[in-house]
Amino acid sequence: MATDGPRFAIAPTKLLWQPAKIGAIALQTPRVKSFFFDLAQPFAFQAGQHVDVRLTAPDGYQAQRSYSIASAPATAGVIELAVERLEEGEVSPFFHDVAVVGDSIELRGPIGGHFVWSVADGGPLLLFGGGSGIVPLMSMLRERAACRATLPTLLLYSARAWDDLIFRDELLALQDRHDGFELVFVLTREPARRERDYARRVDAAMLAETLARVDGSARHAFVCGSNAFVEAAADALLQTGLGAALIRTERYGQ
Partner 1 sequence: MVTRGFSGRPRQGSADRVPPGQTPTDDFPVLSAGPTPHIATTDWAFALKVGPKPIARWSWAEFNALPQTTLTRDIHCVTQWSKLDTRWRGVTIDDLLAAAGVAAPTGYALAHSFDGYSTNVPSADLLGGKAMIALAYDDAPLAAPHGGPARLLVPHLYFWKSAKWVNALQFTQRDEAGFWELRGYHMYGDPWREQRFSGD
Residues at the interface with partner 1 (CB under 8 A): 1-3, 6-15, 19, 52, 54-58, 61-66, 90, 94, 98-99, 103-106, 111-115, 227, 231, 234-235, 237-238, 244-245, 247-249, 251, 253-254
Q: Which is nearer to partner 1, 14 or 148 (CB)?
A: 14
Where helices occur in 115-226 by DSSP H, the ranges are 134-146, 168-175, 204-211
- The helices-and-strands tally (H runs, E runs) of the chain is 5, 11
Residue type at position 117: W
Q: Given the complex with partner 1, which of 199 and 245 has the nearer CB atom?
A: 245
Query: Across the chain, where does the E strand assignment appear?
Result: 18-29, 32-39, 50-56, 62-68, 78-84, 104-111, 125-130, 153-159, 181-187, 220-225, 247-251
> Min. distance of Cβ 45 from partner 1 in angstroms?
12
Nearest distance from residue 105's CB to partner 1, in Å?
7
Residue 195 CB neighbours (<10 A): 5
In the beta sheet, which residues pair with residue 246? none
Q: How far apart are CA 185 and CA 134, in angstroms?
A: 11
As measured in angstroms, the least distance from the Cβ of 159 to partner 1 is: 21
Residue among 58 and 191 whose Cβ is closer to partner 1: 58
The amino acid sitting at 49 is Q
Cβ atoms of 248 and 2 closer than 8 Å: yes
Nearer to partner 1, 24 or 173 (CB): 24
Question: Closest CB to partner 1 among 62 and 191?
Answer: 62
Shortest approach of partner 1 to residue 100 CB, angstroms?
Answer: 9
CB of 252 to partner 1, least distance (A): 8
What Cα–Cα distance (Å) separates residue 8 from each residue in 3, 37, 68, 110, 111? 14, 25, 18, 11, 11
Least distance CB 116 / partner 1 (angstroms): 9
Cβ proximity to partner 1, 201 vs 251, nearer residue = 251
> What is the chain's length?
254
- 156: exposed, middle or buried (Cβ count in 10 Å: 0-12, 13-18, 19+): buried
Write down the least CB distance from residue 212 to partner 1, Å: 21
- Of 29 and 139, which has the nearer Cβ to partner 1? 139
CA 194 to chain centre: 22
